[in-house]
């Protein structure tokens, strides 16, 4: 490239001159979508483009005399103003370089338009060629003075792969910098001094450390919630606020120590604090024993029995063996048989985790008449809900002999419409000829080989075209859906063969055993009903 520099021959090196010419062309010719796509290294998030105007581009160059750049820009069709000390970009660049030398800004408007080109001028020895290349940036003006809008734009850009990288005020404009996933950087300019969005944005570099610290201290939250559940604090506060001293007296706790835990849980949203008085939030109320869907037993078992079993996670990773067995010396159901108190806690916790079952009948396309078989139906709660929703249906619960007694009591209200059959779904024939079969939270207890045995036994009982509804927590493609991934680890730790499966793994397992997965119907807490048909 040949560029004649008016009055300042050799003001820029060849590479800087090339970068500058490319930046001018980029600012002049590219659309806002093109400019954003260059930074995010992919398809730009369309919704955010409605709130952004492509304002220009910037490039970092090495020059001895910043005033020489005015002539360079003029030769490229840019009307430039006088150099001035760079404000926000300069502070960021000086901090990054660890040097106190000045950074100058030379700005100009590209001829034939309104977009700007900015040259950030630094001494020639301050930044390498590669570092200067990486500092190329595009600038967008945010069209609006609403802080909520600005926060939304920032969140969308971060979700698109950009990284927050400082900001500040440039006269009457708030400037927010992002490091791009593709070409260089992006700068957002918003009118006025936007104190809260700036503080949120500038604080993001610390959020990486804060996020890791939050992850590492998750055990503290688990144990604090479990302690509150064990002490029955939510039940004591059910009638209204109480002060620290009274709670300490009623629970036999040390007042000062209890206050610390209450303050921590209040910060987490479990309790509400008014001086020395404490009350329940909607979250904290879930620890009451007398509310629908109480999670008190879940808190106790996650912070107690299963908390201890998770100490064997590394053992599982290194040996492939069950952490639960490593910690307790027995498989889970053997442990529960020998420890009745733990068994009762487990049963209460499992019941607390099934409130979503109330929504299942509405997702099953229940026939007006016919028969439903709940395979491994445990306490009968799901079948009870199904028979209530379908008054013309008959129901059969099939489970092990020591379980069906309790299930019979739960189903007694349906009279002759409900029956129980004792058997083992690994070895015994499943009741045949029904229109709908249920497998609720069964498959995640077993590996593919054992699940195949269950599915084949169920399929042998079914006519072609009959329906199987599998209720599980499938692992989704969306990485933000964390619960199935967490429970996948939980099952690895606390069972011998269990684990959650991806949707595709469910599909393949069903297909290998005579079923075609036809639909997935969403439930709360990332649960789902996987609807399959028996095939030839």
pLDDT at 92: 56
Catalytic (active site) residue 444: yes
Q: What is the pLDDT of residue 323?
A: 97
pLDDT tens-place values along the chain, 536 residues long: 333 444 444 567 788 888 888 889 888 888 999 888 888 867 788 888 889 999 998 888 877 777 888 888 888 888 888 877 775 555 556 555 444 456 778 888 887 778 988 888 776 655 666 667 777 889 999 988 888 889 889 988 888 888 888 888 887 889 998 988 655 789 999 988 888 888 888 875 555 677 788 889 999 999 999 999 999 999 999 999 999 999 999 999 999 999 999 999 998 889 999 999 999 999 999 999 999 889 999 999 999 999 999 999 999 999 999 999 999 999 998 999 899 999 889 988 888 777 789 999 999 999 999 999 999 998 899 999 999 999 999 999 999 888 787 788 889 999 999 999 999 999 999 999 999 999 999 999 999 999 999 999 999 999 999 999 999 999 987 766 789 999 999 999 999 899 999 999 999 999 999 999 999 999 988 999 999 999 98
CA 346, 350, 351, 352: dihedral to nearest 10 degrees?
100
Active-site hit among 201, 414, 444, 490: 444
Look up residue 265 and give its DSSP letter. Answer: H
The C-alpha torsion from 475 through 479 and 480 to 486, rounded to 10°, is 50
Q: Is the separation of the CB atoms in 515 and 455 below 8 Å? A: yes
- pLDDT score for 42: 72
Give the C-alpha separation, 211 to 215, whole Å: 6
Q: Say how many CA atoms lie within 13 Å of 421 toward its Cβ.
A: 17
Residues facing 422 on adjacent strands: 399
- Placement of tokens 């929703």 in the chain: 389
How far from 468 is each of 165, 333, 367, 420, 518, CA to CA, in Å?
52, 27, 13, 19, 10
Interatomic CA distance for residues 106 and 70, integer angstroms: 7
CA distance 89 to 185: 11
Kindly tell me the burial class for residue 528, based on how many C-beta atoms sit within 10 Å of its own C-beta (0-12, 13-18, 19 or more).
Answer: buried
What distances in angstroms separate CA 399 from CA 125, 258, 373, one per listed residue?
Answer: 78, 45, 11
- Report the first-to-last Cα separation within the chain, whole angstroms: 71
Find out whether 306 and 259 touch, Cβ atoms under 8 Å: no
Token digits of residue 331: 């498989």
DSSP helix/strand/coil, 77: coil
Please give the domain boundaries of the chain with CATH numbers for all domains: 14-208 (3.10.180.10), 217-303 (1.10.10.10), 310-352 (no CATH), 355-534 (3.40.50.150)
- Among candidate residues 136, 117, 140, the one with its CA nearest the CA of residue 44: 140
Q: Tell me how far apart the alpha carbons of residues 210 and 214 are, in angstroms, rounded to a whole number.
A: 6
Q: b/e string for 370-381 if b means 16 or more Cβ within 10 A?
A: ebbbbbbbbbbb
What's the pTM?
0.63
pLDDT of residue 397: 96
pLDDT at position 273 is 92
Task: Please give the pLDDT value at position 331.
Answer: 93
Cα distances (angstroms) measured from residue 100 to each of 63, 64, 169, 205, 356: 16, 16, 20, 22, 61
For residues 199 and 150, the answer to whether their CB atoms sit within 8 Å is no
Q: Which DSSP string corresponds to 20-31?
A: HHHHHHHHHH--
């Amino acid at each position: 490239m040949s560029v004649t520099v008016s009055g300042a021959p050799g003001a820029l090196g060849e590479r800087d001159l090339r970068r500058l010419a490319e930046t001018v062309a980029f600012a002049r010719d590219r659309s806002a979508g093109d400019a954003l796509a260059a930074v995010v290294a992919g398809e730009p998030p369309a919704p955010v483009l409605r709130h952004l105007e492509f304002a220009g581009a910037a490039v970092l160059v090495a020059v001895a005399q910043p005033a020489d750049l005015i002539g360079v820009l003029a030769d490229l069709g840019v009307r430039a103003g006088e150099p001035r000390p760079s404000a926000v970009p300069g502070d960021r660049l000086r901090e990054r370089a660890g040097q106190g030398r000045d950074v100058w800004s030379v700005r100009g408007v590209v001829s034939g338009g309104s977009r700007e080109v900015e040259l950030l001028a630094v001494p020639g020895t301050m930044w390498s060629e590669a570092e200067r290349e990486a500092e190329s940036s595009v600038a967008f003006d945010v069209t609006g003075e609403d802080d909520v809008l600005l926060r939304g734009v920032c969140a969308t850009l971060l979700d698109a792969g950009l990284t927050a990288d400082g900001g500040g005020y440039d006269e009457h404009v708030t400037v927010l910098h992002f490091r791009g996933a593709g070409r260089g950087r992006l700068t957002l300019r918003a009118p006025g001094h936007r104190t809260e969005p700036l503080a949120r944005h500038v604080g993001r570099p610390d959020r990486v450390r804060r996020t890791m610290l939050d992850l590492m201290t998750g055990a503290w939250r688990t144990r604090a919630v479990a302690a509150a559940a064990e002490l029955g604090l939510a039940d004591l506060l059910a009638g209204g606020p109480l002060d620290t001293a009274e709670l300490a007296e009623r629970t036999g706790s040390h007042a000062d120590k209890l206050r610390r835990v209450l303050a921590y849980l209040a910060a987490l949203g479990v309790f509400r604090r008014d001086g020395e008085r404490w009350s329940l939030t909607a979250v904290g109320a879930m620890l009451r024993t007398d509310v629908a869907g109480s999670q008190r037993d879940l808190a106790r078992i996650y912070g107690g029995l299963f908390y201890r079993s998770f100490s064997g996670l590394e053992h599982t990773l290194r040996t492939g063996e069950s952490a639960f067995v490593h910690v307790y010396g027995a498989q889970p159901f053997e442990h529960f048989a020998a420890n009745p108190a733990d068994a009762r806690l487990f049963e209460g916790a499992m019941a607390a985790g099934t409130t979503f079952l109330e929504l299942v009948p509405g997702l099953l396309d229940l026939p007006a008449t016919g028969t439903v078989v709940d395979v491994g139906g445990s306490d009968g709660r799901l079948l009870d809900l199904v028979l209530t929703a379908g008054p013309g249906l008959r129901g059969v619960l099939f489970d092990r002999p020591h379980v069906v007694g309790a299930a019979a009591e739960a189903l007694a209200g349906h009279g002759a419409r409900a029956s129980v059959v004792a058997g083992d779904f690994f070895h015994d024939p499943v009741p045949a000829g029904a229109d709908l079969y249920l497998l609720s939270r069964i498959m995640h207890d077993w590996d593919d080989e054992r699940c195949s045995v269950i599915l084949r036994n169920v399929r042998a009982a079914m006519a072609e075209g009959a329906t199987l509804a599998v209720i599980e927590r499938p692992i989704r493609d969306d990485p933000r859906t964390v619960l199935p991934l967490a429970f996948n680890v939980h099952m690895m730790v606390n069972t011998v063969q269990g684990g959650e499966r991806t949707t595709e793994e469910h599909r393949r397992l069903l297909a290998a055993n005579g079923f075609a997965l036809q639909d997935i119907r969403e439930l709360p807490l990332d649960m789902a009903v996987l609807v399959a048909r028996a095939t030839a």
